[in-house]
Amino acid sequence: MRWWWRDTKWVNGCCSDLLDVMSPKPTADMKSWHRRMGSVNSGLLGGADQGNSKPPASLFPALGPSLTELARPKTQPTGGTSSLAQLRDRMVKTDAGGQPTSNTGTGLGQSMVLSPALTQTKFDLGSGTGPSLSSLAQSSLGQTRRPLASLAAGGGKTGLAGFTSRFPVAASTTVTPPVTALSLSSAVMPHLASPPTTGSSNTVSTGRMTSLGFLEKTKDASTGLSNVAGASAIDATQTLKLGSGIALGADRDSRNLQDCSLAPVNKAGFDTNFKSALPKLIRDDNRARQSATGVDPVSECSAEVKPSILNSPISTTGSPSLSINPVQAPPSSVAVFLFEDIHDPDTDTLQLPSSRSLSNDEPFISSFFPAWLGGTQQHQGFAFDQPSPDDVVSKAQKEAFKEKKAVSASSAQRTFSKPSSSIVASATSPSSKTNSSTLRSPNYVEDDDNFVEVLDDDDTEQMNFDIAGLNLTNTSASGKASAVAQGKQPAVSRPFSAMSSAVNSSQPTPPGSPKLAAARSPGTPKTLTGKKINIEEEYRKRNADKEGLNLVVIGHVDAGKSTLMGHLLFDLGEVNERTMKKYERDSQKIGKSSFAFAWVLDETGEERSRGITMDIAMNKFETTHRKFTLLDAPGHRDFIPKMISGASQADVAVMVVDSTTGEFEAGFEANGQTKEHALLVRSLGVQQLVVAINKLDVMDWSQSRYDDIVGKLSTFLTQAGFRKKNLTFIPVSGLTGENVVKRTHGGVLERWYTGPTLVEQIDLFEPPTRMLDKPFRLGVTDFFKGGIGSTGGISVAGRVDAGHIQVGDQVMVVPGGEFGTVKALEVNDESAKWAVAGDSVLVSLTGLDIVQLSTGSVLCASSYPVPVTSEFIARIVVFDVKVPITSGFSIDLHHQSLNEPAVITKLLAVIDKSTGEIVKKNPRHLSKSSTATVQIKIINRPIPLETFKENKELGRVMLRKGGDTVAAGVVVEILSYAS
Amino acid sequence: MKLIRKRIDKDGSGFVTLYPEELEDMWHVYNLIVKGDHLKATTIRRIQSESSTGSSSSQRLRITLTIVVENIDFDPQAGLLRINGRVTVENPYVKYYCTCTLATETPTFIVSVFTILKLSRSTASILQMNGHHTIDLELNRNFTLIKEEWDVIALERVDESCDVARKADVSAVVCQEGLANLCLLTQHMTIVRQRIETPVPRKRKGSVTNYEKGLVRFYDHVLQAILRHINFDIVKVVILASPGFVKDQIYQYIFDQAIKTDNKPLLEARPKFLLVHCSSGHKHALQEIMQDPATLARLADTKAAREVEALNRFYHMLNHDADRAFYGFKHVMKANERGAIGTLLVTDQLFRCVVRRGSADIATRRKYIELVENVRAIGGTVFVFSSLHVSGEQLNQLTGVAAILTFPVPDIEEEDEAENEANEGVGKSS
């Protein structure tokens, strides 16, 4: 409290004596003010206060300045109008005048008190002698555009705290009173500033959100804005005028006054709304941290506010009269563009925040309300070592794209039916919908012992496992949530294979993504040259023929993976006779003739001479109904990082098990890789598994041995989370090729085995749903100089994790943020014009330096970059570990092809596997097979990472230590952002 | 480090004069000096003097300053130790000047010393007795450390640092395909000298030339780093560690190249190379290396290896009998009250009363020293981990203090929980 009084003094200088005289009384009042402001904030933030009636002290510094500013202009003797005391008294009076201040705490009720108070104040000011706030604002618009802009930026950055830091600038330039008056209506300011200053798109985007948060505060002060905002919810055609409308709002004094005077009348409407919001907020608060509803309170708050504004008769009548004022500068194209986007015709702004997913929430909040967030969670008040406002604003700008996307996604489902009296009702209903769905959120259901993903018996659901994913069934974000509320509309569609038409129509609208056909602009790379290809159509065409799948081959070292696959490729005609002959000859020369087939995949000299696969080998083959990209993983435990890199690209897996006496046991027992590999692929999202019981020829095709192994394995694999029906066992011999592609008739095997051959079984794999409609992502597994076909540039290999790409697209490399243009593409070694999620591609990029790339980089759509982080919260399942995981546990973090040293900095909570409830907070250590949320910090450098909800491929991490996999997990929340 | 002189009174106050010889000694000194100590050391200052005629001259002088330590900075990479504090003792090397203006109580002898200036200030100003100065401690120059109280930890540190026998200069190259960390390990420090990261393209169908070229480039980088950073005269063991066959490949490459270039010193150093398996190329894989029996045999009984062993024992205990392993000061203190501590693991960071890192004040240090003394008194073992080692780093993450108990004390945790609940209750009610 004290400090900002001092601050005021400092700024004011001249009227310090005045202040001093008044200080005793104001202090008391200001305290009450503080409380109110604090609770408003906490209410808006949601979860900040956790239902505690006391506003967090940390909010005070942030709020202080704004209050100072509130008070200050009035202390200025210049206006000679209403003094600070007068003003403040009035506010207090209105407060004391029996407003329904609900002391319960969430503060929204109190915030209501605030706005009428403000209304009154302003009314007074206006009708009295002095210039009204809005006219002041107007004048300031002309005079102090720059400080305003900077103020706006500051506001975007550190919330109110930002104002203080920026304040001296504004103050020194000239018109202090207007500027400060403006800070009262902080949300308006960016708008005021933005239309004339064309370049400041940053400001606009920031201000936009700020306005949501501040709406009820600013509603009277900014009149024009509230009208427009309200109107835009009803009639989207007016949104174009929004920018100008706001600017206009400034000079429409007289209307303001009337408007304001009526505001208290509307109060009743407000209160009811807020009361209805209260319980929700309280409920949300409790979960805000863990269950993705971080922003919901905000959304609800804004949702409540707007309709009530609409309810005001004057504002509704007032809104049509908005037109472009010839005197005012028209809104900049940037402003128009942005505003248009946000108030998209078939959109309602109310859904904006609520339709965002968790991962968005965090950055979202922190970029727009950092002071609040910081104040409540991380740091106290404003720190000068924070990033500059510009940084934050530009980040916010990026966020705006996401937001835009989210809007369009939710748009279809929610629209206001009527613009008039029923609006309050209709406005509350969507929020209650969100809410009801929010309530469902904490269904952390896990049905298996060792790992996590839900596997329902329903066929449609099955393909959908990744969305249900690790049971982070989430609400705030997903279209699913709203769908649930809207009568169980299937959130996710049936498998792709079942219906090629599914791509378009019944394709689910996953969280925050636009419909496929309709809007693909946000997440798609910008195409610079050539014609756009309609990828959905092409994809459907391609799939009509044969669908593509990525198959990883796993198993203990020397189980015969490469040999089996080599033989398979040879039998399918992928390897020609002559090459094979050569391999046989050469392998015989070094006395390893049994490795001939493996040489198809093991190509390096090292691998051949040692007779061991050391890196993923990629190949392709086709079966009757499918096209496969084969990833042959190394089995040796030292090469598990490579295996993870391969498996993270895979949809389905073949596990090869050595059936010979002793060998199976060696692979299956403690130190063998059979178990570890199975757990790893399962954790990496592979659901369908074919187990090839290999080398049975050595065992004389003994059925009892086969059954024995099948028994042992199926127990383990079902425990590991594979469903019985997705598990098949095939007896094979990789060396002889028996039962790989065909079976010898009348052979020994034929006596007891009549099932399908390996290839027949592989052909039955169901392709998973591809994330076609998500923004483009490609995890880089490999890169080298020289483009495809010995052209220039650099080549990048990897699998498209989400979205699609075509020649001519511009893509962004993260981390680094450099851009490159796609010059050529190869899908499965065949040149192509486009590629979609699931394809293994080789991309030739131009305009990019190779030093920008590293293994583990992600290529992504420039409009929707992948966040880069070094600190995040993950939900992990601890494997069979020798030492317990404690805080400070150093690990190797594996994320796609990347492995980086990291530290588990905090053990947040142990979670019950079946219910998802927190069993123990801040545990001392995690023992084996427990599920927990932990905080992880990456030591060396930040890496690109997304939350599991956002992108399931980029949201998975494996934790290893000392050559053992200790845990697998998914990213729940990203804590820090780097670039 | 050499101990030149040592005089400690019965009350624990006294001074020690030391002669640092190598980089690691700086680390010892860093751990020895505590805020509030007096340090007497030489430093070079440019002195500007004005003669009576008004002409001024400046010269660089090595002068001895005594300061009260306020801040210590240590850069383990360069072994640079900077100590900041106020000058407390008038110094014979500095010229005294009589200026009447400043004469206050004893006008006959005062003093105001000519300015000691840091470089380029042109006018002479008056050195104040309490002026702030920074001393860079230098190798091979004596310094004297005066403490009001020499506690056990400090005295042990002096002994340890002056023990010539305990020395093992080891360098380790921890690598994986495309990544290598070249580290120097001493008794108390692990320093990453160079981190090598070379992108190695992966094998592609039909073409492995890119891959092989990339590998060779990577091996070459490692070789160059070894040649640059490892002095084979000093280093006794070079550990090459990696998962898979990278270490063998590098080993082979190094000596192929040595033969090609006829690099005698390298060829002679061949027996010093030790190939060890580890699981990754990151620095913390050193911990695995330290456990490897092959390394242990070569490194004998080094501190680092013992530390790793102790930490492993702790983790093992935590996994198997959680009531016998505790970490965090509060828990450990409780175990100590019950006399249950068998082995105490602490990092030296906790005893370092440097302003920035670790325990910030003398009180904390005293607290921990008490703990150490208590544990010793009841016959427990105490490991003071060097926070520059990987194991120490990890212990630091683990609050810096951990204990293995001789008997299980399950109620520590329960008590703690109850307390927490009580605290929460209080928080709520208030």
Residues A874-907 pLDDT 10s: 999 998 888 888 888 889 999 988 989 999 998 9
Most confident range (mean pLDDT) of A71-75, A173-177, B396-400 is B396-400
Report the mean per-residue pLDDT for chain B: 80
Contacts of B249 in chain A (CB under 8 A): 606
From the centroid of its chain, how far is CA A695? 46
Q: According to DSSP H, which parts of A458-604 are helical? A: 459-462, 465-468, 479-485, 535-545, 561-571, 577-589
Contact B210 A784 (CB under 8 A): yes
CA dist A256 and A723 (Å) reads: 65
- What is the nearest CA distance from A565 to chain B, expressed in angstroms? 14
Short-list A394, A403, A443, A378, CA closest to A299: A403
Say which range, A589-603, B21-35, B353-367, has the weakest mean pLDDT: B353-367
- What is the nearest CA distance from A65 to chain B, expressed in angstroms? 27
DSSP 8-state symbol, A839 = -
Segment B231-284, tens digit of pLDDT = 888 788 899 999 989 999 999 999 999 999 999 989 999 988 999 999 899 988
Interchain CB contact of B349 with A (< 8 Å): no
In this prediction, residue A433 carries a pLDDT of 39
In this prediction, residue A284 carries a pLDDT of 44
Q: Which residue in A638, A842, A898 has the most chain B C-beta atoms within 10 A of its own C-beta, making it the best mutation to test that interface?
A: A638
Of the pLDDT bands very low, low, confident and very high (cuts 50, 70, 90), residue A706 is very high
Contact B249 A614 (CB under 8 A): no
Contacts of B410 in chain A (CB under 8 A): none
Short-list B331, B330, B325, CA closest to B310: B325
3.30.428.10, 3.30.43.10, 2.40.160.50, 2.30.30.870: CATH of B2-47+61-165: 2.30.30.870
- Once rounded to an integer, what is the mean pLDDT over residues B310-331? 87
Enter the tokens of residue A660. 């010979």
Of the pLDDT bands very low, low, confident and very high (cuts 50, 70, 90), residue A535 is confident
Segment A739-773, tens digit of pLDDT = 999 888 888 888 899 889 999 999 999 988 888 88
Contacts of A901 in chain B (CB under 8 A): 280, 282-284
Contact A888 B399 (CB under 8 A): yes
In this prediction, residue B87 carries a pLDDT of 85
Contact A638 B244 (CB under 8 A): yes
Contact A925 B279 (CB under 8 A): no
> Could you tell me which residue, A328 or B399, shows the higher pLDDT?
B399
Most confident range (mean pLDDT) of A281-285, A533-537, A677-681, B202-206 is A677-681
| pLDDT over 80 (residue A966) | yes
Interchain CB contact of A909 with B (< 8 Å): no
Enter the tokens of residue A568. 């398979």
Contact B312 A886 (CB under 8 A): no
Residue length of chain A: 979
Say which range, A9-23, A649-663, B291-305, has the weakest mean pLDDT: A9-23
CA dist A393 and A397 (Å) reads: 6
Contact B244 A636 (CB under 8 A): yes
| pLDDT over 80 (residue A210) | no
Interchain CB contact of B362 with A (< 8 Å): no
- Once rounded to an integer, what is the mean pLDDT over residues A462-483? 37
| pLDDT over 60 (residue B196) | yes
In this prediction, residue A525 carries a pLDDT of 59
- What is the nearest CA distance from A625 to chain B, expressed in angstroms? 24
Q: Where are the beta strands (DSSP E) in B101-203?
A: 111-113, 116-117, 132-136, 143-147, 170-176, 179-185, 190-197
CA dist A226 and A218 (Å) reads: 8
Q: Can you say whether the dihedral through the CA atoms of A638, A639, A645, A646 is positive or negative?
A: negative
Q: Where are the beta strands (DSSP E) in A815-870?
A: 818-827, 830-832, 834-836, 840-846, 858-861, 868-869
Contacts of B278 in chain A (CB under 8 A): 963
* CATH 2.40.30.10 domain extents, chain A: 777-861, 868-977
Contacts of A854 in chain B (CB under 8 A): 197, 199
Contacts of B203 in chain A (CB under 8 A): 603-604, 615, 617
CA dist A385 and A780 (Å) reads: 34
- Contact partners, residue B420, CB within 8 Å, separation at least 6: none
- Once rounded to an integer, what is the mean pLDDT over residues A711-719? 91
- Contact partners, residue A775, CB within 8 Å, separation at least 6: A522, A523, A524, A802, A803, A860, A861, A863, A864
Contact B205 A618 (CB under 8 A): yes
In this prediction, residue B217 carries a pLDDT of 93
| pLDDT over 50 (residue B361) | yes
Of the pLDDT bands very low, low, confident and very high (cuts 50, 70, 90), residue B93 is low
| pLDDT over 70 (residue A255) | no
Are A486 and A334 in contact by the 8 Å Cβ rule? The answer is no
Interchain CB contact of A610 with B (< 8 Å): yes
Short-list B71, B81, B80, CA closest to B34: B71
Segment A607-617, tens digit of pLDDT = 898 889 999 99
Of the pLDDT bands very low, low, confident and very high (cuts 50, 70, 90), residue A286 is very low
Interchain CB contact of A849 with B (< 8 Å): no
Residues 394-423 of chain B whose Cβ lies under 8 A from any Cβ of chain A: 394-399, 413
In this prediction, residue A447 carries a pLDDT of 37
| pLDDT over 60 (residue A408) | no
| pLDDT over 50 (residue A634) | yes
In this prediction, residue A909 carries a pLDDT of 92
Residue length of chain B: 430
- Contact partners, residue B370, CB within 8 Å, separation at least 6: none
| pLDDT over 60 (residue A479) | no
Contact A888 B212 (CB under 8 A): no
Q: Which residue in A599, A924, A938, A966 has the most chain B C-beta atoms within 10 A of its own C-beta, making it the best mutation to test that interface?
A: A924
Contact A901 B399 (CB under 8 A): no
> Could you tell me which residue, A557 or A107, shows the higher pLDDT?
A557
In this prediction, residue B169 carries a pLDDT of 75
List Cα–Cα distances, B181 to A73, A960, B232, B238, B268, in angstroms: 61, 19, 18, 13, 23
Say which range, A16-30, A105-119, A956-970, B316-330, has the weakest mean pLDDT: A105-119
Of the pLDDT bands very low, low, confident and very high (cuts 50, 70, 90), residue A76 is very low
Residues 58-77 of chain B whose Cβ lies under 8 A from any Cβ of chain A: none
CA dist A190 and A210 (Å) reads: 9
Report the mean per-residue pLDDT for chain A: 63
* CATH 3.30.420.60 domain extents, chain B: 167-298
In this prediction, residue B36 carries a pLDDT of 85
**How much of chain B exceeds pLDDT 90, in percent?**
19
Interchain CB contact of B166 with A (< 8 Å): no
CA dist A192 and A250 (Å) reads: 8
Contact B210 A641 (CB under 8 A): no
Interchain CB contact of B217 with A (< 8 Å): no
Q: The domain at B303-417 falls in which architecture?
A: 2-Layer Sandwich (3.30)
Contact A603 B208 (CB under 8 A): yes
> Could you tell me which residue, B92 or A738, shows the higher pLDDT?
A738
Of the pLDDT bands very low, low, confident and very high (cuts 50, 70, 90), residue B128 is low
Enter the tokens of residue A345. 């015709």
Q: Which residues of A718-754 are buried (b: 16+ CB within 10 A; e: fewer)?
A: bebbbbeebbbbbbbbbbebbbbbebeeeeebeeebe
> Kind and range of the H or E element at A435?
helix A423-440
- What is the nearest CA distance from B196 to chain A, expressed in angstroms? 13
Tokens 């042992």 — which residue? A712
In this prediction, residue A46 carries a pLDDT of 40
Contact A899 B280 (CB under 8 A): yes
Of the pLDDT bands very low, low, confident and very high (cuts 50, 70, 90), residue B61 is confident
Q: Which residue in B177, B192, B276, B397 has the most chain A C-beta atoms within 10 A of its own C-beta, making it the best mutation to test that interface?
A: B397
- List of long-range contacts for B200-203, beta carbons under 8 Å, 24+ apart: B201/A782, B201/A783, B201/A784, B202/A615, B202/A616, B202/A781, B202/A782, B202/A797, B203/A603, B203/A604, B203/A615, B203/A617
Short-list A479, A511, A516, CA closest to A949: A511
Q: According to DSSP H, which parts of B199-281 are helical? A: 209-229, 246-261, 264-268
The domain defined by A535-764 folds into: Rossmann fold (3.40.50)
Contact B284 A855 (CB under 8 A): no
Segment B217-240, tens digit of pLDDT = 999 999 999 999 888 887 888 999
The domain defined by A777-861 folds into: Elongation Factor Tu (Ef-tu); domain 3 (2.40.30)
3.30.420.140, 2.60.120.10, 3.30.420.60, 3.40.462.10: CATH of B167-298: 3.30.420.60
Q: Which residue in A574, A606, A645 has the most chain B C-beta atoms within 10 A of its own C-beta, making it the best mutation to test that interface?
A: A606
In this prediction, residue A400 carries a pLDDT of 53
In this prediction, residue B252 carries a pLDDT of 93
Of the pLDDT bands very low, low, confident and very high (cuts 50, 70, 90), residue A424 is very low
Say which range, A27-31, A119-123, A705-709, B223-227, has the weakest mean pLDDT: A119-123
Enter the tokens of residue A352. 């904006």
Q: Are strands B273-277 and B237-242 parallel, antiparallel or unpaired?
A: parallel
- Once rounded to an integer, what is the mean pLDDT over residues B415-425? 68
The domain defined by A868-977 folds into: Elongation Factor Tu (Ef-tu); domain 3 (2.40.30)
Interchain CB contact of A616 with B (< 8 Å): yes
For A855, the closest of B199, B282, B395 (CB atoms) is B199
For B203, the closest of A604, A883, A884 (CB atoms) is A604
What backbone torsions phi and psi does residue B46 show, to the nearest 5 degrees? -95, 125
Q: Which residue in B288, B319, B404, B412 has the most chain A C-beta atoms within 10 A of its own C-beta, making it the best mutation to test that interface?
A: B319
**How much of chain A exceeds pLDDT 90, in percent?**
21
Rg of the Cα atoms in chain B: 27
Contacts of B399 in chain A (CB under 8 A): 887-888
CA dist B399 and A302 (Å) reads: 43
Q: Which residues of A529-551 are buried (b: 16+ CB within 10 A; e: fewer)?
A: eeeebebbebbbebbeeebbbbb
- What is the nearest CA distance from A630 to chain B, expressed in angstroms? 11
Segment B364-394, tens digit of pLDDT = 778 888 888 889 888 888 998 888 888 888 8
Contacts of A909 in chain B (CB under 8 A): none
Short-list A123, A120, A145, CA closest to A134: A123
Enter the tokens of residue B166. 């305990």
DSSP lists the bridge partners of residue A630 as: A551, A619
- List of long-range contacts for B328-331, beta carbons under 8 Å, 24+ apart: B328/B399, B328/B401, B329/B367, B329/B399, B329/B401, B330/B416, B331/B403, B331/B412, B331/B413, B331/B416
Contact B201 A783 (CB under 8 A): yes
In this prediction, residue A893 carries a pLDDT of 93
- Once rounded to an integer, what is the mean pLDDT over residues B281-307? 80
Contact B318 A605 (CB under 8 A): no
Contacts of A638 in chain B (CB under 8 A): 243-244, 277, 279
In this prediction, residue B370 carries a pLDDT of 87
| pLDDT over 50 (residue A684) | yes
Most confident range (mean pLDDT) of A14-18, A605-609, B86-90 is A605-609
Most confident range (mean pLDDT) of A323-337, B24-38, B49-63, B250-264 is B250-264
For B318, the closest of A782, A884, A964 (CB atoms) is A884
> Could you tell me which residue, A681 or B156, shows the higher pLDDT?
A681
Residues 47-86 of chain A whose Cβ lies under 8 A from any Cβ of chain B: none
Interchain CB contact of A899 with B (< 8 Å): yes
| pLDDT over 90 (residue A565) | yes
- Once rounded to an integer, what is the mean pLDDT over residues A317-344? 44
